[in-house]
Copies of this chain bind each other. A is one copy, B any other.
Amino acid sequence: MRSVFYISDGTALTAEAFGNALLSMFPVTVEQRTIPFVDNEDKARQAVKRINEAHQASGLPPLVFHTFVDLNLQNIVINSEGVCFDFLQHYVQPVADQLQLAPQPRMSRTHGIRDDYSARIDAINFTLDNDDGSNISDYEQADIILVGVSRTGKTPTSLYLALQFGIKAANYPFTEDDGFESLKLPKSLKPYRHKIYGLTLDPQRLHEIRNSRREGSRYASLQQCRFEVAEVERLYRREAIPFIDSTQYSVEEIATKIIAETNLKRRHY
């Protein structure tokens, strides 16, 4: 199998994002390896050794996606037997020309601690403190409140909003306590209805997810899933709460769709 390496003198997260986006255009299965923090000549030579060994093992030259600040280390790596791609190469000069500024490469530039860092950590803490309807007194501070029945993706989406974008996302699960037979917007949520966003899911998929947690329970039964989903969607429509059916979407897609639709202000880029 073809090997792919992501290499950097930093986290290599940018090299991964770059390589992943490119490779996802091709119907190919590859063996992926990341070598981050290659910040001295020894480590660079070790990386070269691993690239060359992968070449010997498969007979195919590995693809190497790299982002180095230190050009001396980069030089060592691009003299390996891999086919090397530096994704900044073609773009730095055109951007410099537009900005009329010279580039000033420095370490930890993309994923280090920046001005907006504590806002992100605050958002993560807020989201954890307000997970699963656990702290309804804090909704005043929330940027958004995700609602939905159990296992429709509220918690992963909240966490992604906090980690990636610094957004304070609370979430509130509708449960038996809210009375599915005549579901109403809970009192604690009423003052914040402008911040509420609903999630829903195909009942069959919900049934499968719940069954893998509590097999054979009433909670997981298809009948119960159908009932809860129907009631909650009826509530969304009656109260004009915007909502998304998350069945076909990943956490990243749900989170970015919600931001696009609500014009939620991000604290982190």
Contact = CB atoms under 8 A, between A and B. Distances in A.
Interface of A: 2, 10-14, 16-18, 20-28, 32, 34-37, 61, 63, 67, 83, 85, 87-88, 90-92, 94-96, 98-99, 101, 103-105, 108-114, 117, 120-121, 124-125, 128, 131, 155-156, 159-160, 163, 248-253, 256-257, 259-260, 269
Given A36-B260, A37-B257, A124 B252 contact: no
A111 B132 CA distance: 25
B111 A250 contact: yes
B16 A14 contact: no
Given A26-B99, A32-B269, A92-B25, A159 B124 contact: yes
Contacts of A253: 10-11, 108, 111-112
A124 B61 CA distance: 35
Given A113-B248, A163-B163, A260-B36, A23 B90 contact: no
Given A85-B94, A128-B155, A104 B25 contact: yes
Given A28-B99, A160-B163, A67 B11 contact: no
B98 A67 contact: no
Contacts of A260: 34-37
Contacts of A105: 25
B26 A101 contact: yes
Contacts of A250: 108, 111-114, 117
Contact of A26 (B26, B96, B111, B117): B96
Contacts of A131: 128
A61 B109 contact: no
Nearest to A108: B253
A209 to B, nearest CB: 9
Contact of A101 (B17, B28, B112, B124): B28
A72 to B, nearest CB: 18
Contacts of A16: 269
